[in-house]
Chains A and B, each alone.
Chain A
Amino acid sequence: MRHVLSVIVENKSGVLARVAGLFSRRGFNIDSLAVGTTEKPEFSRITLVVTGEDLVIEQITKQLYKLIDTYKVTDLTAAKHIEREMILVKVSINANNRSEVIEIVDIFRGKIIDVSDKNMTVEITGDYEKNEGFLSLLKKFGIIEIVRTGTVAIQRGTGN
């Protein structure tokens, strides 16, 4: 099963290497990883998307906790939460299909941020499924390049 783990770590150099090293050393796979500072400058948040059975996710969580720099690991999967990922995608276009592409971008509330007569760059934000749906619709036009930020997620409501 796909899990979204939100990991609060000390904001200092080397922490990302410790987390990444842990995953490679223990043979855990990362689907995506996003890192940035939080409302408190001394902490960073690493949002990890991982796929695995419950026992594996439990091991990953415990191993993350074992790192001295880890404050908190929250598995958002079970809680009500919002996920977002931003994608920049460059798709090839021509005079005939240009308006069809624009229509799809509109439906998905994407933003066209760069256009030439041969290709168009679109910015789209959404959860994993929406983004995958969008990309699959663009496929037939020919995707030249995709850049993804990795998923970030936040718990709904006042939960902390």
Chain B
Amino acid sequence: MSAEKMKGSKILLESLKKEGVTDIFGYPGGKVLHIYDDIYKSDIKHYLVRHEQAAAHAADGYARSTGKVGVCLATSGPGATNLVTGIATANMDSVPMVAFTGQVSSGDIGTDSFQEADIIGITMPVTKHNFLVKDVKDLALTIKKAFYIARTGRPGPVLVDLPVDVTVNKAIFNYPESIIIPSYKPTTKGSSRQIKNAIKMIREAKQPVVLAGGGVISANASEELREFISLTKMPVSSTLLGLGAYPYNDYYSLQMPGMHGTAFSNFAIQEADLLISIGMRFDDRITGKLDTFAPNAKVIHIDIDPAEIGKCIATVLPIVGDAKEVLKEMNAYLKEESIEAKEPWLKIIEKLKLDYPLTYKMDKNAISPQYVLEVLNELTNGDAFYTTEVGTHQMWAAQYLNHTQPRHFISSGGLGTMGFGFPAAMGVQVANPGKTVINIAGDGSFQMNIQELSTVSYYNIPVKNIILNNQWLGMVRQWQELFFEERYSSTNLEGMQPDFVKVAEAYGVLGLRATKPAEVREVLKRALSHNGPVVVDIRVVREENVFPMVPAGGAIDKMIGERGSI
């Protein structure tokens, strides 16, 4: 008996089911009509966004908040190119995602046919890998590979380009149970010899600092990190993508390092004699000028991607492996032979934390953006997912929210994509129904994907957009104030803004506003208790800057603070 052949579009949906996909974000068009026809018949839930960029960010938020592979879909040409910013964002932050794009018929490729774009060429530098499927017979195996590559090793986005004939033609559907790609074998287990050496170095260090990055979160190694710190009693600083890996306000927490990190974190790093960096890549926003960074420290670098080791900074001891597995093994050794707390160092840290706390001014009549975040901490009790847009509000969210759980703070770190937060929040909410999902937005960024109000309204995706509205492109304004003698070129949005409350209402979304500090708590309470999407327009102090700040390319212990240099 010969098995019945199946249409490519159906094979795609059956393959997604095999991968456990339940939700996809997308936008239709001519070259994906067959796929949409099968979506219509399928029980996989498709969310129609209003711009393909949002589909990619939503898949990204879905993935970051769950660890599952996010899925998005767009048609050929402009649909595909609209995904690119979202794919690049996911790539920079190592997010597992599979993006499907329609393509002109395989026979027409290369003829500049209608809505043809070389999306394989375009996305080569911004994906972990990509595939052009040329024959429907290869479709199922390619999808299997795409998901496998996206989720294993250092995660990342994979794009699968589907010429329309591949979705129309038929093949026998046979989804492989497992797969081996001989040329792709990520190392997950760290070298035990190196791990033992690392413990020896930790034991001998006098002033160690742990740097935890997004890799700790994507490896689901937050528990192991917490145990590691309790066994070694070392101070730990989390990068933007690592926030939540370790409880933010814990005794050993240094909070965040770098350009807008805490002063005590930066001072501790500069005085450290040992850095143990786990799943972080020494981004320039962390290190400032490289040859002034951590001048006295030896570096132990734990990362699943060998190419990160030695890329920016010389490493004394590299450990290539999955953060969870490496930390587990370390913890096992540490339990056998404990490490004494380095009391003099911890005393120094205690004093640094006392001397250089994060501070901001409070005014009776004007809302400080930081205050809004502190009220949110209270109201949500730490039990909320946060996404952010990009700008000063993002940095305050990083600084002032009380990060207690991994996968709960979701922000575009590597690419710094304005317009990310709102659609990402949609993805987070779809993946976590019943949970509170809050997008901390700037008034500039929010307008970059504001059309998604239509999506959240239609599907009743109850995300809470909190706009810290300063009527500026605030982060750029801050640089202009500090480094361009207050020449505010193209950053003042005063008088150029829509009424966000009315915009929300026009889309059928609840719009709220606060203009005075006394209103903040009530308005936020209302927003959080509303059973549906909300836009809250909070008019904050207009010219508030983010401090501390390390000027670009400077040394991280040369910071500007609220009252001049620190």
A interface residues, Cβ below 8 angstroms from B: 9-10, 14, 17-18, 21, 25, 55, 58-59, 62-63, 65-66, 68-71
Contacts and interface: CB of A to CB of B under 8 A. Distances in A.
B291 to A, nearest CB: 14
Mostly, the A contact residues are helix
Contact of A65 (B124, B128, B129, B306): B306
Nearest to B183: A71
A59 B305 contact: no
5 contacts: A62-B307, A62-B309, A69-B183, A71-B182, A71-B183
Most buried by B among A10, A65, A66, A69: A66
Contact of B183 (A25, A59, A70): A70
A69 B128 CA distance: 11
Contact of B184 (A55, A58, A62, A68): A68
Contact of B307 (A10, A55, A59): A59
Interface of B: 120-121, 124-125, 128-129, 132, 149, 181-184, 305-307, 309-311
B181 A68 contact: yes
A60 to B, nearest CB: 10
Nearest to A60: B307
Contacts of A55: 310
A123 to B, nearest CB: 35
Contacts of A70: 183
Return the 9 tightest CB-CB contacts between A and B, nearest first. A62-B307, A68-B129, A71-B183, A68-B184, A25-B125, A62-B306, A66-B307, A21-B124, A63-B307
Contacts of A58: 310
A72 to B, nearest CB: 8
A17 B123 CA distance: 12
Contacts of B305: 66
A126 to B, nearest CB: 33
Most buried by A among B132, B149, B183, B310: B183
A17 B311 contact: no
Nearest to B124: A21
A55 B309 CA distance: 11
Contacts of B132: 14
A62 to B, nearest CB: 4
B146 to A, nearest CB: 10
B283 to A, nearest CB: 16
Contacts of B310: 55, 58-59
A14 B120 contact: yes
Contact of B121 (A17, A65, A68): A17
B124 A59 contact: no
A48 to B, nearest CB: 17
B307 A65 contact: yes
B166 to A, nearest CB: 16
A70 B305 CA distance: 15
Given A62-B309, A63-B307, 15 more contacts: A10-B183, A14-B124, A17-B124, A21-B124, A25-B125, A58-B310, A59-B307, A59-B310, A65-B306, A65-B307, A66-B305, A66-B307, A68-B128, A68-B129, A71-B183
